[in-house]
Structure 1
Amino acid sequence: MRMTPISPERLAELLADRIAGLPAEDGRRLRIAVDGAPAARPGDLADALVEPLRLRGRPVLRVSAADFLRPASVRLEYGKQDADAFHDLWLDDGALQREVLDPLEPGGTGRVLPSLWDAATDRATRAPYTELPPRGVLLLDGALLLGRWLPFELTVHLALGGAALARRTPAEEHWTLPAFARYAEETDPGALADLTVKVDDPRRPALVER
C-alpha cells in the first residue's frame, strides 16, 4: 500500500475532475458517497466539492446521511450508548435509498427528499422535495455507508488510524469507537471504496493506493 500526500485543495480539484469525467450520457445523474467517521469530517470534503463541480457545469445537491437516521425509539432501543446498534440500526438506509438514491437512477424522476428526520428533535423534518437536474451530482456524506448495497457511481472513504480516530473523537462519543473498529474489520471500507484518503492529519491528507 502506497500513500501519496496531497493538499486539501488539490484533493477537491482531483475529485471534481474525476466526478465530472464519469459517464453522464442521456443526462444521467451521479450519486457520490463521501464515507467517514464524524472525526474524519466527510461533510467538509463533500462541501468542498460543490463549487468545483458547479464550475465544471454540473448541478449539485448536498445531502447528509445524518438526516436519515431512524427515530430514537429504534436507535436507542438497546440504550443510548450501544455500539452495535449504532453500527446496525441508526441509519435508515431503506429510506435513504427510496427517497434519495433510487430517484436518481437512469430514467428516474430526479425528485429527491433532501432530509427526513431531525435526530435532535426526534421529528420529521418535513423538508420539501427538490429536483436534481439531468447531469446533476448528488454529494452524500455520512458514516458507515459502505457495505450496505447502496447504489453509488463513486465512493470515497476517509480513513483514520485507530489512534487518530480516538484522539479526534470527542470523549462523550468514545462509545462509538467499537462500531468503527467493527466497520473496519467486517466491511473493510478502504477496500470497497473507489478512492481512499488517509486523513489522520486533516491538513495533510494522503491518497491511498493498494
Structure 2
Amino acid sequence: MTLQRRELLDAVAARLRAQDPGHPLRIGIDGVCGSGKTTFGDELAALLAEGPRPVIRLDSDGFHNERAVRYRQGRDSARGYYEDAYALDSLRLLTLEPLGPDGTRRYAEHLHDLETDRVAPRFADAADDAILVFDATFIQRDELRDHWDEVIYLDAPREHALERGVQRDVARGADADASRELYDARYLAACDIYLEEQDPRTRASILIDHADPSLPLLLR
C-alpha cells in the first residue's frame, strides 16, 4: 500500500470513528463496477477494527436475487442488471433498518448463495457501537438512500473501471474479449443508468478520486 493511500484511509477512518449516532454506524461504499470498492472496503474495515468498536464487514455477494429474477430481462440486459441483480428491499428490511435508530440490532449478514442459487439467510446480532462497512453498486438508489449514515463514493473513469473488471475476470479464468464485451454491455451500461438516474457522486457524503487506486484523493 502506498503512503498516499494509507494516509487517505487513515483520514477517512478517523472521520468515521468520531461518529456515534446511538446505533451501529452504517457505511456504504459506492462506485461503478470495477472502481475498487471491495478492496477499499476490506482495507477500511481492517483499519477500523484496530479501534475499540466492533466492525461488521459485508458486501453485495450475499444479497443477490435468485437467477430467475436476475436474468428475467435477459443475461445481457443492462436494465436487468440495474433493476434485478440485488435484493435491495431485503437488504433494507433485514439489514439496514435493524441496524438503524429504531432497529432490533438483529440483522441479516447473508441472504443468498451465488454458487447454489439458494436463499439461505444468516442472522447475527450487532452491538450498539458497531460499524458496518458494506460495499455494492447501486447503494444510493431510492430504496436504500436514507438508510446509510455515510456513503463513500469511489470515482473512477469508465475506461479504468472496465479494464480493472476485465483483469479481475481474466484472473479467474475468463476470456478477456468476452469479459470486456459483457462488462461494457451489461455491467457498466447499468452503471451508466445509475449515474444518470441517481447522481451518486453528488449525493455521497465522502467523495474520493479513485482513478489511480495507489494515489487516491479525498475530494469531499
Q: Which moved more, 1:61-70 or 1:169-178?
A: 169-178
Match of 2:50 in 1: 55
Distance of aligned partners of 1:12 and 1:74 in 2 relative to their CA distance in 1, 3 Å threshold: same
Match of 1:188 in 2: 199
Q: Structure 1 CA distance, aligned partners of 2:141 and 2:50? A: 32
Q: Structure 2 CA distance, aligned partners of 1:107 and 1:179? A: 33
Structure 1 position 7, deviation (Å): 1.9
Q: Deviations over 1:68-105 (max 9, x none)?
A: 11111111011111000111121111100111111112
Match of 2:128 in 1: 134
Q: Structure 2 CA distance, aligned partners of 1:118 and 1:9? A: 33
Q: Deviations over 1:143-184 (max 9, x none)?
A: 111132420110001111122223323214322221111212
Give the structure-1-normalised TM-score.
Answer: 0.88
Match of 2:140 in 1: 146
Distance of aligned partners of 1:102 and 1:126 in 2 relative to their CA distance in 1, 3 Å threshold: closer
Letter in 1 for 2:114: A
Q: Please state if 1:70 is matched with 2:65.
A: yes
Match of 1:162 in 2: 158
Match of 1:14 in 2: 11
Q: Please state if 1:40 is matched with 2:50.
A: no
Corresponding residue SS for 2:43: helix
Give the structure-2-normalised TM-score.
Answer: 0.85
Distance of aligned partners of 1:29 and 1:182 in 2 relative to their CA distance in 1, 3 Å threshold: same
Letter in 1 for 2:148: F
Report sequence identity in percent: 25
Q: Deviations over 1:4-60 (max 9, x none)?
A: xx82212221111111111334xx211000012331121111111223222221111
CA contact (8 A) 1:147 1:192 kept: no
Aligned residue-pair number: 201
Note the residue ranges of structure 2 that are not aligned, 5 or more in a row: 167-179
Q: Structure 2 CA distance, aligned partners of 1:168 and 1:198? A: 16
Corresponding residue SS for 1:40: coil
Match of 1:3 in 2: none
The runs of at least 4 consecutive aligned structure 1 residues that moved more than 4 Å come to: none
Corresponding residue SS for 1:7: helix
CA contact (8 A) 1:198 1:208 kept: yes
